[in-house]
Amino acid sequence: MGIELLVAAVKALIAIGMLLNLAGILGWVERKGSALIQDRIGANRAAILGFAGAGLVNTLLADPIKFVTKEDVIPRGVDRLLHTLAPCVNLLPVIVAFAAVPFGDRLRIGERAINLQAVELNVGVLFILAMTSMGVYGVVLGGWASNNRLSLLGGIRGSAQMISYELAMGLSIVAVVMTFGSLDLQEIVRAQGHNIAGWLPGWGIFYQPVAFALLLIAGIAESKRAPFDLPEGESEIVAGYFTEYSGIKYLMFFMTDFAEIALVSALLTTFFFGGWQVPYLTSQGFAFPWGTTVELPHLLVVLLQVGSYMVKVFVFCWFQVLVRWTMPRLRYDQLMWFGWKVLLPVGIANLLVTAAVFLLLQG
Amino acid sequence: MSPLVFFLLAIPMVLFSLGVVLARSPVRSALSLVVALFLLAAMFFQLDAHMIAALQVIVYAGAIMVLFLFVIMLLNLQQEPVEAARPAQRAIAVAFSVLFVLSVGLAALRGLPALPGPGVEGAVAGAFGSTEALAERLFTRHLFAFEVTSVLLLVAIVGAVVVARRLGK
Amino acid sequence: MTVPASWYLVLATLLFAIGGLGVLIRRNLIVMFMSIELMLNAVNLAFVALARQQHVMDGQVMVFFVMTVAAAEAAVGLAIILAVFRHRETVNADEVNLLRW
Q: What is the pLDDT of residue C22?
A: 92
Give the residue with greater pLDDT, B84 vs A291.
A291
If you average pLDDT over every residue of chain B, what do you get?
Answer: 85
pLDDT at C98 over 60: yes
Residues of B in contact with C49 (CB under 8 A): 47
> Which range (A89-103, A210-224, A236-250) has the least confidence?
A236-250
The more confidently predicted of residues A25 and B153 is B153
pLDDT at A144 over 90: no
Q: Is residue C89 scored above 90 in pLDDT?
A: no
Which positions in chain A touch B69 (Cβ < 8 Å)? 137, 140, 144
Q: Do chains A and C touch (3 or more CB pairs under 8 A)?
A: no
CB pairs under 8 A between B and C: 232
Name which residue leads in pLDDT, A78 or A234: A78
CB-based contact C61 B14, cutoff 8 Å: no
The C-alpha atoms of residue C14 and residue B97 are separated, in whole angstroms, by 9
pLDDT digits (tens, 9 = 90+) for A25-53: 888 888 888 888 888 887 777 666 666 66
Average pLDDT over residues A68-81: 84
pLDDT band of residue A65 (cuts 50, 70, 90) is confident
**Chain B residues closer than 8 Å to A130 by CB:** 54, 57-58, 62
The reply to whether B27 touches chain A by the CB within 8 Å rule is: yes
Q: Identify the pLDDT of residue A34.
A: 87
Q: At A117, which helix (H) or strand (E)?
A: strand A112-117
Chain A residues close to B45, C-beta within 8 Å: none
Residue A271 near residue A182 (C-beta atoms within 8 A): no
Instruction: Tell me which residue of B24, B17, B18 sits closest to B77, measured CA to CA.
Output: B24
Neighbours of chain A (3+ CB pairs under 8 A): B
Q: Kindly report the CA angle at A84 between A83 and A90, in degrees rounded to 5?
A: 90
What share of chain B has pLDDT > 90, as a percent?
Answer: 46
- pTM, two decimals, is 0.90
User: In Å, how far are A91, A158, A263, B14, B102 from A155, measured between CA atoms?
Assistant: 15, 5, 21, 30, 44
Q: What is the pLDDT of residue A193?
A: 86
Minimal Cβ distance to C17: which of B52, B64, B101: B101
Q: What is the mean pLDDT of residues A133-137?
A: 91
Q: Is B137 on the interface with A (CB under 8 A)?
A: no
pLDDT of A253 > 70? The answer is: yes
ipTM exceeding 0.90, yes/no: yes
**A250 vs A243: CA distance, rounded Å:** 9
Which pLDDT tens digit goes with each residue over B98-143? Answer: 999 998 888 888 876 555 544 444 455 567 878 888 888 899 999 9
Greater confidence, A152 or C42? C42
Which positions in chain A touch B58 (Cβ < 8 Å)? 126, 129-130, 133
Chain B contact present for A127, CB below 8 A: yes
Check CB contact under 8 Å for B52 and C63. Answer: yes
pLDDT digits (tens, 9 = 90+) for A174-186: 999 999 988 999 9
| Residue A357 in this model has a pLDDT that exceeds 80 | yes
- pLDDT (average), residues C61-86: 93
The pLDDT, as a whole number, for residue B117 is 47
- Mean pLDDT across chain A, nearest whole number? 86
pLDDT at B109: 82
Instruction: Report pLDDT for B83.
Output: 62
Q: What is the pLDDT of residues B75-92, one digit of tens each?
A: 876 656 556 667 888 888
E strand or H helix at C39: helix C29-54
- The beta-carbon neighbor of C64 closest among B37, B55, B166 is B55
Whether A118 has a pLDDT exceeding 60, the answer reads yes
pLDDT at res. B120 = 43
Q: Evaluate whether A109 touches A299 at the Cβ level (below 8 Å).
A: no
Q: Are B133 and B125 in contact (CB under 8 A)?
A: yes
Name the CA radius of gyration of chain B, rounded. Answer: 21
B11 in reach of chain C (CB within 8 A): no
